Amino acid sequence: MNTLEDDGVEFPLGHFFPVASDNHDDSDLLLPAPAPPIHAEIIRIDFETQTHQTIALSLSVDAGPGCGGIAWPAGEVLASYISRRGSTLEGLNVLELGSGTGLVGLVAGYLGARVCITDQAPLIPIMERNISLNGLQSHVTATELDWAKPLPELLQLPDIVLAADCIYLEATFPLLVSTLVALVPQPPGRAPEVLLSYKKRRKADKRFFALLKTHFTWSSLVDDDVDDRAQERHDRGGITLLRLFRRP
């Protein structure tokens, strides 16, 4: 796993975030920085497919509902990885957990997948706004999904499960793991592909993976499948990309 820490690599909202000193002892760091004072701004984020097609997204970001309303680097890295999958996503059912702005799911929808982006109720308006901004109403829907509750009965078993930067609040770790367990049947059942992107936060991620390993194994994804900008984020920002596998 990547053990490097964030050293101030630029990203679309980078000017809102302080850069930590290399000498700062953040061994107890569990949470991302407080949500910056951003309200109803629209940014543009571009991704490139393997065939050099540009995916240009307009993204409404708003810190009003909390840090979930911001586009974080782990989401950009996973979105870049998804963009390189290109037309292979067409027609697949994709579910994104903890979507926030919906960035990763929007990229999947742009590539022709049938996508359900999910989060808690306060973030639904932001997700719906971003679906509309990008004209993806026919491919992407926004749905409330509370990890503390059973999965909705109408939720279709996905082909792919996406989760970006969902590992930061320790109280939610068991809830996220239980949601993944509910979504991914044990072998020999048909299991969806599970892709996880996260920012390494030392103690926090160790506690999460201690819970996760009871039900899943995982492997690192190939770095070549992200574009140059996201690769910088991956290499220098402490972002790790994983594929999860359900234990028998």
Binding residues for S-adenosyl-L-methionine: 72, 98-100, 119, 147, 164
> In the chain, what is the straight-line distance between the N-terminal and C-terminal CA atoms, in Å?
24
CA atoms within 13 A on the CB side of 217: 5
Residues whose CB is less than 8 angstroms from the CB of residue 89 and which lie 6 or more positions away in sequence, other chains included: 82, 108, 111, 112, 113, 160
Residues whose CB is less than 8 angstroms from the CB of residue 62 and which lie 6 or more positions away in sequence, other chains included: 38, 39, 40, 41, 69, 126
What 3-state DSSP class applies to 97? strand
Backbone torsions φ then ψ of 242, nearest 5 degrees? -135, 155
- For residue 86, give the amino acid letter: G
DSSP state of 14: G
> What is the secondary structure of 113-176 as a DSSP string?
-EEEEEE-GGGHHHHHHHHHHTT-TTTEEEEE--TTSPPPTTPPPPSEEEEES----GGGHHHH
* 143: number of Cβ within 10 Å: 15
Binding-site members are: 72, 98-100, 119, 147, 164
